[in-house]
Amino acid sequence: MNDIGTWVWWLVGAVALGIPLVVTAMPEFGMLAVGAVAAAGTAGIGGDLVVQVLVFAVVSVALIAVVRPIANRHRSQRPQLATGVDALKGKQAVVLERVDGSGGGRIKLAGEIWSARALDTDRAYEPGQEVDVVEIEGATAIVI
């Protein structure tokens, strides 16, 4: 195999590794593809086959060792911006109709009127009191 053919084969390998990356969304294939591109560059500047394979292995393993933990950390984080009912958790509301553990009460939350019930079934909140929303179950706010 001549040098030109070698770097072309490395690029073909990189493309071949890119296909399962797209199909399976496994970033490890992308890191292996980058290693193959690095090996193609090594072949392009005249490195022999042993050096090319070493470059492929070192670049691929280094990327997997560094990028994978970062990707996993980002994947497990909650979104920074809460939206929908998640954005209402922790907000304060004003009681409009008596709220107790049985439900049926009403609160004003974020400019809207919500049905509400107390988290503590032994507790009741009277109109005018401020309460904190701890959960949303369907269309009912659970308050303390």
Q: What is the Cα–Cα distance from 14 to 42, expressed in whole angstroms?
A: 14
Token duo for residue 144:
């303390």
12-27 mean pLDDT:
88
Report pLDDT for 121: 86
DSSP per residue, the chain: --HHHHHHHHHHHHHHHHHHHHHH--HHHHHHHHHHHHHHHHHHTT--HHHHHHHHHHHHHHHHHHHHHHHHHHHHSPPSS--GGGGGTT-EEEEEE-B-TT--EEEEETTEEEEEEESSTT--B-TT-EEEEEEEETTEEEE-
- The contacts of residue 144 (CB under 8 Å, 6+ apart) are 118, 119, 120, 123, 131, 132, 134
Q: pLDDT (tens digit, 9 = 90+) per residue, 48-89? A: 999 999 999 999 999 999 988 887 888 777 667 777 888 889
CA 53, distance to chain mean position in Å, is: 34
Taking the C-alpha atoms of residue 129 and residue 111, their distance in angstroms, rounded to an integer, is 16
> Does the structure show a pLDDT above 90 at 101?
no
For the segment 10-37, the average pLDDT, to the nearest whole number, is 90
- Average model confidence (pLDDT) for the chain? 89
Place of tokens 């560094």: 66
Q: State yes or no: pLDDT of 3 exceeds 90.
A: no
Q: How confident is the model at residue 4 (pLDDT cuts 50, 70, 90)?
A: low
